[in-house]
Structure 1
Amino acid sequence: MTNLTRRQTLSAMAGLSAAAMFGLPARAQEKTLVVPTLGGAWEQFWRSTLAPAFTAKSGAAVTLDAGNGRVWSANLRAAGVDKPPYSFLMTNEAFANSLRKEGFFEKLDLTKLPNYADLYPLAKKTDDWGAVAMVSPIGLAYRTDLVSTPPKGWKDLWENPEFKGRIGLYNFANTAGKMELMLFSKIFGKDQYDVDAGFKALENLGPVIQADFNLSTGIAAGEFVVAPFDFGEVARLRKQGLPIDIVVPEEGMLMFDQTLNILVNAPEKELAYEYANFMLSPEAQTLLMKEFFVSPTNAKVVVPDDLKADVPISGAQMDNILTWDWEFMNSKQAEFAETWAKTVK
């Protein structure tokens, strides 16, 4: 981590102010937890709401380190396994899987995570090495004013003539692009490992518009009329007045996930577990759901009626979210990226 002195100072001051506000004793304010978080609206929400809420519970100050999985992974590798700059990391499972193999994380001590027991099965897919704290399910979104026959499944990208040349996809640099490849391999081949079938399907799809991060601009401009989108983003676009809708594909949904992991040599391990348990709690899960329209991974959280249109995926529908072998994908990433660049036009 570099160039964070001013940010860290402001974050620590915010944490101390919150502690004072809740009447915590001075000795409880001595420890500081470095919290890696996404930037933009995510960082703002952590600073205004989640960090003070955690400080109120733990008495610890919070220092935010805004970034993303690529940045945090680079920071960890630069520091080494023995002296990590973080005590925990919450990031996409695609990044967490690689760091786990490199020895950065420990198997979770579930006695310190009572809320883990209440998670949906998809949030516990790492054999207790991590816990998924945030899920943004991904379905198929389409422009209701530009499409006469809405899609029912992923296969409609190939079968609906309205979509030809008007399809948006995440590129391979995005974790969603890698999921697209495994999904199409599963649909058109034997399973997610049958990437020859997946690439053949992508070739047959014809020209598509690709984006590394933001598909919203393209669909808003009508550059394409159908694309994979997370449900929360569609809710935001709909509130902005865009004629857009989204379906749960017959073959299953993808997801953007954020997996919590504890560093084996965490400088503040007990605080890290306390924070992880807080993030998995109904309280924090409800705050995240209301702010970002993510689907809660704690099964005790009930989506209120006034949020069901924006957070439609919960309960039994969580079983329709597909999970993937990231160890396989990460081991072949360079090879697949080259093939993708040659195949997808």
Structure 2
Amino acid sequence: MTKLTRRQTLAGMGAIGAAGVLGMPAIAQARTLIVPTLGGVWEQFWRSTVAPDFEKASGAKVTLDVGNGRVFGANLRAAGADKPPYSVIMTNEVFASGLRKEGFFEKLDIAKMPNYNDLYPLAQVAGGFGATGAISPIGIGYRTDMIKTPPKAWKDLWTNEEFKGRIGLYNFANSAGKMELLLASKLFGKDQYDVDAGFDALAKLGQVVQVDFNLSTALSAGEIVVAPFDFGEIARLRKQGLPVDCIVPEEGMIMFDQTISILKNGPEKELAYEYANYLLSPEVQTLMAKEFFVSPTNSKVVIPDDLKADVPVSGEAMSKILTWDWDFVNEKQGDLAERWAKTIQ
């Protein structure tokens, strides 16, 4: 926590006093929303565009807290559900699911978030407890110059001999790794819960390259020729001159997601709703599509023609994205992680 010097404290008191003299409501001037955000290019975009634009629209101050889902979850649990440091959070659904079950979030007051009604059904999460603010659909990315037969389906990873020993996977620490297991369970077993079948199938892939975060390096180096990739990352690699492509598998896509949740006991709940509704607006959703090549979750957004190659999944194609039971994954987290470490080469 930041410690204020005596001079800073006096200066702050003076600012509040000045607001009173000028006839402005001191409380309104003091409204501050702490916004957790990812680092890197996400932080840059939030600092340059999202935060200042929301400040202008709301008259409030935005303070960014840079980290990731694991960090934000740890911060919330350390503070407790009664006194959370945040009023709103946007994080992967795998993390949001656990925090929701622990009682941190409230069911959304949709009257305060009119943009919620325009979301694709996929983005209306957990019976109204969350709203997906960003989606990066994941298909099969591959090197067009290093294979003769492009993939069409996830099962091609098992059947195409060109891929043997040259397949990339996210490891279990990444939410995509967890989805790879559930997907294999669904493809080769009864359903997503049939993890015995899923692990058996993943073991049959043989030697794979596993990463926690970045498969692009291995694909660029030719160490792998095929892997689960989000379309935005393939677009960035293509713009760098790498001969790559990404397809929508016949069985459906998985996704990286960012769920917006409102803290039940957050210190600036009304401001949090303003911010959440702002993020879901067609204007901001369009800006994020242009900046990160993510698929807009607001159905009113129409992808412009010059962006369709980089953001190919929108409209009806959003229904081809698969969803998963993250409560199940979180409950079995330890056992599944241990089995993954023993099973996947």
CA deviations 1:94-118 (Å, max 9, x no partner) are: 0000000111001101110100000
SS at match of 1:205: coil
- What is the rounded CA distance, in whole Å, between the counterparts of 1:34 and 1:4 in structure 2? 16
Match of 1:123 in 2: 123
SS at match of 1:132: strand
- Aligned-pair CA distance for 1:30: 2.2
Residues 3 and 249 of structure 1: is their aligned pair in 2 closer, same or farther, counting only changes over 3 Å? farther
> Structure 1: which amino acid aligns with 2:137?
P
SS at match of 1:64: strand
Match of 1:178 in 2: 178
Match of 2:85 in 1: 85
SS at match of 1:322: coil
CA deviations 1:29-76 (Å, max 9, x no partner) are: 421100000001100100000011111110001000010000000000
Does 1:145 find its partner at 2:145? yes
Does 1:243 find its partner at 2:236? no
Match of 2:313 in 1: 313
Match of 1:61 in 2: 61
CA deviations 1:280-313 (Å, max 9, x no partner) are: 0001101101100000000000000000000000
Residues 99 and 342 of structure 1: is their aligned pair in 2 closer, same or farther, counting only changes over 3 Å? same
- Aligned-pair CA distance for 1:246: 0.5
Match of 1:275 in 2: 275
- Aligned-pair CA distance for 1:126: 1.0
Match of 1:261 in 2: 261
- Aligned-pair CA distance for 1:4: 10
Does 1:198 find its partner at 2:198? yes
- Aligned-pair CA distance for 1:268: 0.1
Relative to the length of structure 1, the TM-score reads 0.93
Match of 1:340 in 2: 340
- What is the rounded CA distance, in whole Å, between the counterparts of 1:171 and 1:141 in structure 2? 17
Relative to the length of structure 2, the TM-score reads 0.93
Match of 1:136 in 2: 136
> Structure 1: which amino acid aligns with 2:141?
A
> Structure 1: which amino acid aligns with 2:310?
D
> Structure 1: which amino acid aligns with 2:331?
S
User: Over alpha carbons, which structure has the higher Rg?
Assistant: 2
Match of 1:33 in 2: 33
CA deviations 1:79-105 (Å, max 9, x no partner) are: 111111100110000000000011100
Match of 2:221 in 1: 221
Q: Unmatched 5+ residue regions in structure 2?
A: 9-23
State the aligned residue count. Answer: 326
> Structure 1: which amino acid aligns with 2:340?
W
- Aligned-pair CA distance for 1:164: 0.4
SS at match of 2:274: helix
28-37 or 168-177, which deviates more = 28-37
- What is the rounded CA distance, in whole Å, between the counterparts of 2:329 and 2:313 in structure 1? 26
- What is the rounded CA distance, in whole Å, between the counterparts of 2:25 and 2:51 in structure 1? 18
Residues 203 and 4 of structure 1: is their aligned pair in 2 closer, same or farther, counting only changes over 3 Å? farther
Match of 1:165 in 2: 165
- What is the rounded CA distance, in whole Å, between the counterparts of 1:101 and 1:329 in structure 2? 13
281-290 or 26-35, which deviates more = 26-35
Q: Unmatched 5+ residue regions in structure 1?
A: 10-24
- Aligned-pair CA distance for 1:26: 8.2
